[in-house]
Chains A and B, each alone.
Chain A
Amino acid sequence: MRKPVEIPRPLVALHAVGRDFDVSKPWLNRMIEREARHLLTAVDDFSLEVRSGETLALVGESGCGKSTVARLIAGLYPPTRGRIEFDGRSQGASPSELWNAEVRRRMQMIFQDPYASLNPRWRVTDIIAEPLRAHGSLTRRADLRARVAELLSQVGLSPADGDRYPHEFSGGQRQRISIARALSSTPEFLMCDEPTSALDVSVQAQILNLMKGLQEQLQLTYLFISHNLAVVSQMATRVGVMYLGRLVELANAPTVFSSPRHPYTRMLLDAIPDLEMTGRPRTPVAGEVANPLAPPPGCAFHPRCPLANPRCRAERPQLTATAQGALVACHAVEEGRD
């Protein structure tokens, strides 16, 4: 049966991280129209650990803040509140604490759109060698070329492809180039933001298999962001479900898919089209994500929730551990009325 396993050390940790964006009108308009500043809270009170070697998936609908979390970890913008740790080093709101070059080398990103994320005027070799040059890992031209050739074969392309331009490749091949670029600085941590959403299913299968293989081979840790729960089920060790900038459920992947607890998680799982055509009855999904500029009070999900009661409308639920070891932020689950 299951052995008590040692929980691997966290590679990345977020402590009560929040990020606001100023979406106010320009100063003059605000003065004339006597309007206050508007802050959009994209991520709030967000705590999470990514363990070494795992694939942690973040799921949720557009605008729930999942990409913002990845960008905060990458240091593309600083957090407004809270701290982010990477392997013992920490970064907070002050710009002087941004990641140093060594940390930046060790974490890389793969983006959704392989048409927008590769410079069309650069040859593939130069695109893949860019991080190597930026971090000064390799400087001699021959070394760079050899490393790029090695990376290209690692992602299933031919070393000769290095002399070609991005437009000569299909979407799937471009995503392979993005992966080769991300791997070039030998990172340990990859943040993959919807890496297969722009691809056809048969190509998606190739890329997912490649990413799994590379993870095993290079002992990578993934933060995997996707709205597609079937893809997440394929890739994830643990799953975090986000709604309006907050984590509402966090659990091991098998637990989330076999016994989802938060009503929002259940709703998401229920919305997946039934490919087996079993005729399984599906509860119709109600409503839409609320406006993040004016999030509902209490639990942000309450206007769409079939279990909402007065407490849900007034008091924000905290993440609480369940018997299966999941963390769920829901009054109904906590009170046992789910």
Chain B
Amino acid sequence: MSAPLLDVRNLRVEFPTRRGTLVAVDDVSFTISSGEVLGVVGESGAGKSLTGMAIIGLLEPPGRIAAGQIVLEGGRIDDLSPDALRRIRGRRIGAIFQDPLTSLDPLYTIGRQITETILTHLPVTRRQARERAIGLLAEVGIPAPERRMDHYPHQFSGGMRQRIVIALALCAEPRLIIADEPTTALDVSTQAQIIKLLQRLSQQHGAAVLLITHDMGVIAETAHRVAVMYAGRLVEIGATRAVIQAPRHPYTAGLMRSIPRVGTRARLAQIDGAMPRLAAIPAGCAFHPRCPQRFEPCARARPSLFEVGDRRTACWLYGDAQTG
């Protein structure tokens, strides 16, 4: 088996505050291979975006990586200098964020923004960069790309802007693409187009994609594997179909049951209560106060990710409380 492209090991992100240290991402480990899409789902505040930010080295201070390693193509990138990290961003890691307007500079034409990005990362002439930019715009489905190069971001619709952001992320053929809620700000029909585009690009370019979203539908359509996060921790990770059709962790199961589906009107199953705040994460399993299946060890000890069959689940139902 080939080494994974990205290997995140025991990542821990902390925010020191006056009232003590908040642990926003706690002991998270996963890998992604070339050409694979790994989905990360969870509610707001579950730590999924911070995980992505930690990987590209864009954590906002005072947030910091307190423990763990991030290994990209065999080399650690979590301990690099800011300068070295800046060279990796854009070149080896591309990023796509939720709001395409904040990722684009309103004062420059999109052609200039894409060309500059290419010139920053690749040893090409300005003319070659321009040609590459036009090619990229065509690839992400912008009609009449040559003419559109001279337009400003406000002259594009939301879906078109997100395509441009994707083109920007692809400029230097990055090995890893981090897409943080790339379709959340878009309408359903546009969302479907962007999902298709991401899928096609990851296949064609063989890039690894970390797809962060709160939308299980998007995961079902796009991701090969899915990681479910709750209160900063990974609770379940496995093949998308297996996790969606037969969730094991009681949180994943509750989440799946609470999603409304077309054609049903039965009362939705709901998980009572809310995800704990970072300052008040319960001892043991963070989900135990809301869990319908909790038993003796849950409040006492934190379950590790137990490997059973096709996936890993952080739940005492699947591990041995004596040895674990």
- Using a CB–CB cutoff of 8 Å, the interface residues on chain A facing chain B are 61-62, 170-173, 200-206, 208-209, 212, 227-231, 233-234, 257-258, 267-277, 282, 284-285, 288-289
Decide yes or no: A61 and B270 within 8 Å by CB, A269-B262, A275-B216 being known contacts: no
Decide if A227 touches B261 in the complex (CB within 8 Å).
Answer: no
> CA–CA, A205 to B245, complex, Å?
19
Decide yes or no: A202 and B255 within 8 Å by CB, A61-B187, A234-B265, A277-B220 being known contacts: yes
> CA–CA, A228 to B258, complex, Å?
14
**B158-171, CB under 8 A of A: which get 1 and which 0?**
11100000000000
Contact of B262 among A209, A272, A282, A288 (CB under 8 A): A272
Is B193 at the interface (CB under 8 A from chain A)? yes
Decide yes or no: A284 and B193 within 8 Å by CB, A170-B274, A202-B254, A277-B245 being known contacts: yes
Decide if B259 touches A230 in the complex (CB within 8 Å).
Answer: yes
Q: Chain A residues with Cβ under 8 A from B158's Cβ?
A: 62
Which 3 pairs across A and B sit closest by C-beta, in order of nearness? Answer: A273-B217, A205-B258, A200-B43
Decide if B269 touches A205 in the complex (CB within 8 Å).
Answer: yes
Decide yes or no: A202 and B192 within 8 Å by CB, A275-B244, A288-B159 being known contacts: no
Decide if A271 touches B188 in the complex (CB within 8 Å).
Answer: yes
Contact of B271 among A202, A277, A288 (CB under 8 A): A202
Decide if A272 touches B217 in the complex (CB within 8 Å).
Answer: yes
Decide if A274 touches B187 in the complex (CB within 8 Å).
Answer: no
Q: Interface residues of B toward A: which range?
A: 35 or more
Q: Chain A residues with Cβ under 8 A from B324's Cβ?
A: none
A111 to chain B, nearest CB (A): 18
**B219-263, CB under 8 A of A: which get 1 and which 0?**
011000000000000000000110011000000001100111111
Give B257's nearest chain A residue, CB to CB.
Answer: A205
Within 8 A of A (CB), among B258-298: 258-265, 267-272, 274
Decide if A275 touches B43 in the complex (CB within 8 Å).
Answer: no
Q: Chain A residues with Cβ under 8 A from B254's Cβ?
A: 202
Decide if A277 touches B262 in the complex (CB within 8 Å).
Answer: no
Decide yes or no: A233 and B193 within 8 Å by CB, A202-B271, A274-B221 being known contacts: no
Decide if B196 touches A284 in the complex (CB within 8 Å).
Answer: yes
| Number of A-B pairs, beta carbon distance below 8 Å | 117
Contact of A273 among B190, B218, B258 (CB under 8 A): B218
Q: Chain A residues with Cβ under 8 A from B220's Cβ?
A: 273-275, 277
Give B42's nearest chain A residue, CB to CB.
Answer: A200
Q: Chain A residues with Cβ under 8 A from B267's Cβ?
A: 209, 212
> CA–CA, A254 to B120, complex, Å?
55
Decide if A206 touches B44 in the complex (CB within 8 Å).
Answer: no
> CA–CA, A229 to B188, complex, Å?
9
Is B98 at the interface (CB under 8 A from chain A)? no
Decide yes or no: A233 and B260 within 8 Å by CB, A170-B274, A268-B189 being known contacts: yes
Is B157 at the interface (CB under 8 A from chain A)? yes
Contact of B268 among A205, A257, A284 (CB under 8 A): A205
> CA–CA, A267 to B190, complex, Å?
11
Decide if A202 touches B187 in the complex (CB within 8 Å).
Answer: no
Q: A231-B260, A268-B188 are in contact. List 19 more A-B contacts (CB 8 A).
A: A200-B44, A201-B43, A201-B255, A201-B258, A202-B258, A204-B260, A208-B260, A233-B260, A233-B262, A269-B262, A271-B188, A271-B189, A275-B259, A275-B261, A277-B220, A277-B240, A288-B157, A288-B160, A288-B190
Contact of A277 among B214, B244, B264 (CB under 8 A): B244
Is B58 at the interface (CB under 8 A from chain A)? no
Q: Chain B residues with Cβ under 8 A from A171's Cβ?
A: 44
Decide if B192 touches A285 in the complex (CB within 8 Å).
Answer: yes
Contact of A205 among B215, B265, B270, B274 (CB under 8 A): B270
A-B contact list, 16 entries, CB within 8 Å: A61-B189, A62-B158, A171-B44, A200-B44, A202-B270, A205-B271, A209-B270, A227-B188, A230-B260, A267-B189, A270-B192, A273-B218, A274-B220, A275-B261, A277-B240, A284-B192
Is B191 at the interface (CB under 8 A from chain A)? yes
Q: Chain B residues with Cβ under 8 A from A282's Cβ?
A: 192
> CA–CA, A202 to B272, complex, Å?
9
Is B195 at the interface (CB under 8 A from chain A)? yes
Q: Chain A residues with Cβ under 8 A from B216's Cβ?
A: 201, 275
Decide if A61 touches B258 in the complex (CB within 8 Å).
Answer: no
Decide if B192 touches A257 in the complex (CB within 8 Å).
Answer: no
A63 to chain B, nearest CB (A): 9
> CA–CA, A4 to B204, complex, Å?
58
Decide yes or no: A258 and B192 within 8 Å by CB, A200-B43, A227-B187, A277-B244 being known contacts: no
